[in-house]
Amino acid sequence: MYPIRRKADVLVVFKTFKVWVELESIKKIKCLRIDNGEEYTCDEFDNFYQHEGIKRQFTITYTP
């Protein structure tokens, strides 16, 4: 669990999480399922996804 104080910190925390997951599992994150929240769809995050080769899948709004 990674506590996040501000939505603007999501990218920094995700980068930390990604490194940890890939070191522990020796596998790459290939796809990330996210909602349409602005913190996940900003230009900086878009550039990161493209650079790392991560595919995004968007959920339907207001669904679990």
In a domain, 2, yes or no: no
In a domain, 36, yes or no: yes
- What is the pLDDT averaged over residues 22-43? 89
Give me the number of domains the chain comprises.
1
pTM over 0.75? The answer is: yes
In a domain, 54, yes or no: yes
Residue 46 structural domain: 7-58
Backbone angles phi, psi at 8, to 5 degrees: -65, -15
Q: What is the pLDDT of residue 47?
A: 93
Q: What is the pLDDT of residue 31?
A: 95
Q: What is the pLDDT of residue 42?
A: 85
CA-based radius of gyration for the chain = 12
Q: Does the structure show a pLDDT above 80 at 62? A: no
In a domain, 21, yes or no: yes
Q: Does the structure show a pLDDT above 90 at 18? A: yes
Q: What is the pLDDT of residue 34?
A: 87
50: how many CB neighbours lie within 10 A of its CB?
Answer: 10
Cα–Cα dist 37/20, whole Å: 24
In a domain, 1, yes or no: no
Both ends of the chain: CA-CA distance in Å?
19
In a domain, 64, yes or no: no
